[in-house]
Amino acid sequence: MDKERTNTLQEKLGQNGSSISKYRRLTVGNCGYTHLILFEIINFCCIPLRGKFGIFVRKLVLPFIIGKSGHGLSVGPNCTIRNGKKFSIGDNTVIENDVTLDVKPGDKKLIIGDRVHIGRRTIFNCSGGVMEIGEYTVIGSFCRLGSLQGLTIGHHCRLGDNSCISGASHSFSRTDIPVIQQDLTCKGPTFIGNYVTIGKQVTILDGVNIGNNVTILPDSLVNRDIAEGLIVAGVPARVVQQ
Residue 30 confidence (pLDDT): 84
Residue 106 confidence (pLDDT): 78
With 90 as the cut, is the pLDDT of residue 110 above it? yes
CATH of the domain at 55: 2.160.10.10
Q: Residue 107 in 3-state DSSP?
A: coil
With 50 as the cut, is the pLDDT of residue 4 above it? no
Residue 13 confidence (pLDDT): 52
> 46: Cβ–Cβ under 8 A, 6 or more apart, which residues?
54, 57, 58, 61
CB 72 within 8 Å of CB 91? yes
- Between residues 198 and 6, which one has the greater pLDDT? 198
CB 190 within 8 Å of CB 174? no
Percent of the chain at pLDDT above 90? 71
Q: If you average pLDDT over residues 188-204, what whole number do you get?
A: 96
Hey, how many other C-beta atoms are within 10 angstroms of the C-beta on 41? 13
In this structure, of 43-47, 125-129, 143-147, 166-170, the range with the lowest mean pLDDT score is 166-170
With 70 as the cut, is the pLDDT of residue 1 above it? no
Please state the pTM of the whole predicted model: 0.87
| Domain ranges, residue 204 | 3-241
CA–CA separation, 175 and 235 (whole Å): 27
For residue 205, what pLDDT band results from cuts at 50, 70 and 90?
very high
Residue 105 confidence (pLDDT): 83
For residue 7, what pLDDT band results from cuts at 50, 70 and 90?
very low
Question: What sign does the dihedral 100-162-126-72 (CA atoms) show?
Answer: negative
Hey, how many other C-beta atoms are within 10 angstroms of the C-beta on 114? 17
Residue at 134: amino acid letter: G
With 80 as the cut, is the pLDDT of residue 8 above it? no
CB 182 within 8 Å of CB 163? no
Q: Residue 198 in 3-state DSSP?
A: strand
> 167: Cβ–Cβ under 8 A, 6 or more apart, which residues?
125, 127, 128, 145, 146, 147, 148, 149, 151, 186, 190, 206
With 60 as the cut, is the pLDDT of residue 2 above it? no
Q: Length of the chain in residues, anyone?
A: 242
Residue 226 confidence (pLDDT): 97
For residue 242, what pLDDT band results from cuts at 50, 70 and 90?
low
Among 184, 94, 199, 97, which Cα is nearest to 146's? Answer: 184
Q: How many domains does the chain have?
A: 1
Residue 38 confidence (pLDDT): 95
For residue 124, what pLDDT band results from cuts at 50, 70 and 90?
very high
Beta strand 144-147 with 164-165 is parallel
CB 77 within 8 Å of CB 50? yes
